[in-house]
């Protein structure tokens, strides 16, 4: 594959090599980056210098087998006739957001922080029923707990991270989940992440570039002195109006978004107030929004336990689940 790519590149000096594959797409398409590959070819992202948009390019080898030819022709004929922006309607956005918050109300009522809310941790079926999944990073809510190791667990979820996670070392509250839901709402409104930071400081700059510079009250809630000094050293940034970022969005959705994506966690809207917001009034029903019967508590911290002990506890939990749910007499 590499030799084949090199020979193609020598034949065409404009070809770009991506993981041994030569893409002869210049000068219109530049900044190629690997996305993935399968049995039929490789996919890269690229910048279209004509339309000024980001695109995906799929390089295929369709003529090795008849089946490949059939599938290639079928895909080309279908895709050339399809034109759909695949945008979510306001009704979809409203309904999905309500279900996220309804689930989060239950989670928070159990005294649990999810800590990893993002689109890939939301499950949808064909009838638009939504479930929150992946509780591997969840923790019991404890504002006084030292979360020193918190950031080490967060790698792939930077875009949905609340600013206080990056700026403080302890004292995280349920408001970090609300921030993540706000990021998800913004993504549904525009079909793209609102804060796509490439690293720690870039993430913070994305946030400040939209929300503007933090106020003195915002700065006072930052425990870490170095982080506070860094923010104070930055040039002033004005807040970008939500209507400029999302000109076609429902004004009520933008009002709720503003209350969710508030820099200061103490001023950020809570889950119950978010559910009661006018944007969700068609679904809001406190009587049909279940809460946990009792707060969830870990008897011990799991982070420092040896693997064999963890395996023992996992086995015990499996036995309990089987006894409670799988061995009940069927009605």
CB 61 within 8 A of CB 68: yes
- Predicted pLDDT at 205: 92
Q: What's the pLDDT tens digit per position in 23-57?
A: 988 788 999 988 877 656 788 889 999 888 888 88
CB 87 within 8 A of CB 249: no
φ/ψ of 32, rounded to 5, equals -70, 140
> Above pLDDT 90, what percent of the chain?
42
What is 88-286's CATH superfamily? Transferase(Phosphotransferase) domain 1 (1.10.510.10)
CB 289 within 8 A of CB 280: no
Please tell me which residue in 91, 116, 146, 255 is annotated as part of the active site: 116
Report yes or no on whether pTM surpasses 0.85.
no
- Predicted pLDDT at 5: 44
Among 165, 161, 98, 162, CA closest to 132: 98
Q: Is the pLDDT of residue 163 over 50?
A: yes
Q: Is 59 annotated as a binding residue?
A: yes
Domain boundaries, the chain: 14-79, 88-286
- Tokens 């490789």 identify what position? 42
Length of the chain: 331
Q: What's the pLDDT tens digit per position in 168-214?
A: 755 678 999 999 999 999 999 998 899 998 888 899 999 999 999 99
Answer whether CATH 3.90.79.10 is correct for domain 14-79.
no
DSSP code, position 33 = E
Whether 218 sits among the annotated catalytic residues: the reply is: no
Cα-based torsion angle of the residue sequence 167, 169, 175, 177 in order, rounded to the nearest 10 degrees = 90
Q: What's the pLDDT tens digit per position in 107-153?
A: 999 988 998 999 989 999 888 999 999 887 888 876 555 555 444 44
Q: How far apart are CA 100 and CA 96, in angstroms?
A: 6
């Amino acid at each position: 594959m590499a030799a084949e790519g090199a020979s193609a590149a020598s034949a065409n000096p404009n070809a770009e090599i991506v993981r041994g594959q030569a893409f002869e797409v210049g000068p219109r398409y530049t900044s190629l980056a690997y996305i993935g590959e399968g049995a039929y070819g490789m996919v890269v992202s690229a910048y279209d210098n004509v339309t000024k948009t980001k695109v995906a390019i799929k390089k295929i080898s369709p003529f090795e087998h008849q089946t490949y030819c059939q599938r290639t022709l079928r895909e080309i004929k279908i895709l050339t006739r399809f034109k759909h922006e695949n945008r979510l309607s306001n009704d979809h956005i409203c309904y999905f957001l309500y279900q996220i918050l309804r689930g989060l109300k239950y989670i928070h009522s159990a005294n649990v922080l999810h800590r990893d809310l993002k689109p890939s941790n939301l499950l949808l079926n064909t009838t638009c029923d939504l479930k929150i999944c992946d509780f591997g990073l969840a923790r019991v809510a404890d504002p006084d707990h030292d979360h020193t190791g918190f950031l080490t667990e967060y790698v792939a979820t930077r875009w949905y991270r609340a600013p206080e996670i990056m700026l403080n070392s302890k004292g995280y509250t349920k408001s970090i989940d609300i921030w993540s839901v706000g990021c998800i709402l913004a993504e549904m409104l525009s079909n793209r992440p609102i804060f796509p930071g490439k690293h720690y400081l870039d993430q913070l700059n994305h946030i400040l570039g939209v929300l503007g510079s933090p106020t003195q009250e915002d700065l006072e809630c930052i425990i870490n002195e170095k982080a506070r000094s860094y923010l104070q050293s930055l040039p002033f940034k004005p807040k970008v109006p939500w209507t400029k970022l999302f000109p076609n969005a429902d004004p009520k959705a933008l009002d709720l978004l503003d209350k969710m994506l508030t820099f200061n966690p103490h001023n950020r809207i809570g889950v119950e107030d978010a559910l009661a917001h006018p944007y969700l009034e068609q679904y809001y029903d406190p009587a049909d929004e279940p809460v946990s019967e009792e707060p969830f508590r870990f008897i011990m911290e799991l982070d420092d336990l040896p693997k064999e002990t963890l395996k023992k506890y996992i086995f015990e939990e499996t036995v309990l689940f089987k006894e409670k749910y799988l061995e009940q007499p069927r009605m």
